[in-house]
Amino acid sequence: MSVQKLTDILNKTNNLVFFGGAGVSTASGIPDFRSANGLWNQRYGRHLSPEEMVSRSFFERDPEDFFAFYKDKLIYPDAKPNGCHIALAKLEQMGKLKAVVTQNIDGLHQMAGSKTVYELHGSVLRNYCTRCHAFYDADYVLKADGVPHCKACGAIVKQDVVLYEEMLDENVIEKAVHAIAKADTLIVGGTSLIVYPAAGFIRYFRGNNLVVINKTETSADSHADLVIHDDIASVMEQAVAAMQP
């Protein structure tokens, strides 16, 4: 019944925005990096929180351990788009979905075919030299022996990912907020809405239908028009498949 209601909403909407978090990537085999904290600390004899491991200060203070964790737990080169990514790309092709706003850094929305994607926390697919700004892909970082260095000038190559203690890109924020504010339907999926400031963006929504799809409860459930506590990949795939041709 809930999936059918979502299908009905999708059939009627013409200005949809999707706001997604880590749960969107789970079905593609990418776990929330926080879940790797205990095992990684145990292996390396560290006592750091997940937030510390992906912080700017840790990157600068201990780049060897930073990149060891980063390459082990944040880059998944074999991951493929799942039912949610593909469903959203279809909705964009239909002219209904106007933007994907994502907290994820894996680039799977674009791989599925989505064109308008606002990556709040950046992407592991883009990497730049900290001195000369030369571009490097994720494969270069993965294959580097320890800390990746620029082939041109020798400086450290840093991923285009917003680390803790760093500011979000203002241009990306502005575009994301504008899209959410104009939407008539906002789907919040695969996120518990606990990571700020990104989670606060949904307060700009003034449209007709707020839909929340997440396996567990979120802070938005109480004022959502439709709440589905289920797997986001399965729900989106079913809902879009059932839409009117």
Contact assessment for residue 168 and residue 150, using Cβ atoms and an 8 Å cutoff: no
Contacts of 162 (CB under 8 A, 6+ apart): 120, 121, 122, 168, 169
Say which of 85, 121, 149, 178 is annotated catalytic. 121
Residue 121 designated active-site:
yes
- β-pairing verdict for 209-213 and 226-228: parallel
CA 162, 27, 35 angle in degrees (round to 5)? 55
CA 198, 91, 187 angle in degrees (round to 5)? 35
DSSP string over 81-132: --HHHHHHHHHHHTT-EEEEEE---S-HHHHHT---EEETTEEEEEEEETTT
**Residue 149 to residues 5, 70, 159, 176, Cα–Cα distance (Å):** 51, 15, 12, 33
The residues that are catalytic are 121
